[in-house]
Amino acid sequence: MKEIPIFFATDDNYAPFLTVSLNSLLQNASKDYFYKIYVLTTNLDPVIQGRIKQVLTPNSTIEFISLKNELDKIQDLFHLRDYYSKETYYRFFIPDLFPNYDKVLYLDCDIIVLDDISKLYNTDIKDYYAAAAVEEVMKTVKVFGDYTVKTLGVPTETYFNAGVLLINNKRFLKFKVAEKFVELSKQYTFRVTQDEDYLNVLLKNKVKLVDLGWNKTAYKNPEFNDADLKLIHYKINWKPWHYDNVLYQDYFWKYAKETDFYEEILAMRDAYGEDLKARDQKQYENLVQMAIEDSNNPNNYCNTVVKFENQKAKGLERINNLNFISKLIGLKGRILNGNSDK
């Protein structure tokens, strides 16, 4: 039976949602494959690990891997804000830690899988570094779309969400993505989507875009047909464990109810008061302000590195054109003088 390696990254706080995600994934996955689940963490409580294991199926196993010792040395490079944890950066290092796999699938914990995940895994990416869906928020919220172009130099149409990422390990290793991330993070701090920004810069024009249905944000998009819904992403403030009336919330609660964390997740939602919702709104407003500030920063990544590279490329193109013209002129001169090569 062919093995499909799937990676999550979590801490104790997000373990309940990881369990719900994993439950939905395994229930809808093809029985023709064996699913090897890896959970990358710092220190995940052994009791919580046991509770997560309850959703496993006969054609799946799970392994919890602590990266504390390996990544403590560079943890100061992990720029964090709001609800982010350093575990979100672990996806950069999967190919280096698991070079035995040609490709792997990385998934965020705040998702629900409604279709057979093997379909996504079997996407052909031999000519790409990864496969992912476009970041819907960047396309539908102008201030964030402007940010990708003006700050990162990445077109909105190709900026991808890194929460569902099919990784070509061979190309990641050959291109030394992890090393380049470390070097880039020393030079530039991307504040808006952090790890996702770094990936989009490093993998610009190297990612195969898949259907949005494989990474649909839990909000209404008039251009999206729900018949194409395969995977739901409950990101930013569209989280049913914090808010009522979130789009597609019924899917989340269906799979949550089947886990050992159901009552705890309900309690989280009920305890999420107006003060916390006001904090979320303030954080979102701050995020918008960050995007505007970084877009207008004359020393941002796009205004320094990208523009320099573009100017350098144009300069090389001019030199090549001049060399070509010079050769033509020289050839014409030799022909007119009767000295052309025989």
2-297 CATH pick, 3.90.550.10, 2.60.40.1220, 1.20.1260.10, 3.40.50.2300? 3.90.550.10
The pLDDT value recorded for residue 97 is 92
The pLDDT value recorded for residue 306 is 64
3 state SS for the chain: CEEEEEEEECCHHHHHHHHHHHHHHHHHCCCCEEEEEEEEECCCCHHHHHHHHHHCCCCEEEEEEECHHHHHHHHHHCCCCCCCCHHHHHHHHHHHHCCCCCEEEEECCCEEECCCHHHHHCCCCCCCCEEEEECHHHHHCHHHHHHHHHHHCCCCCCCECCCEEEEEHHHHHHHCHHHHHHHHHHHCCCCCCCHHHHHHHHCCCCEEEECHHHCEECCCCCCCCHHHCCEEECCCCCCCCCCCCCCCHHHHHHHHCCCCCHHHHHHHHHHCCHHHHHHHHHHHHHHHHHHHHHHCCCCCHHHHHHHHHHHHHHHHHHHHHHHHHHHHHHHHHHHHCCCCCC
What are the structural domain ranges in the chain?
Answer: 2-297, 298-342
pLDDT tens per residue across span 108-160: 999 999 999 999 999 999 999 999 999 999 999 999 999 999 999 999 999 99
The pLDDT value recorded for residue 113 is 98
The pLDDT value recorded for residue 81 is 45
The pLDDT value recorded for residue 342 is 43
The pLDDT value recorded for residue 64 is 97
The pLDDT value recorded for residue 177 is 95
pLDDT tens per residue across span 31-79: 999 999 999 998 899 999 999 999 999 999 999 999 877 666 555 555 5
- What's the whole-model pTM score? 0.87
The pLDDT value recorded for residue 89 is 82
All residue ranges of the chain with pLDDT < 70 are 70-86, 306-342
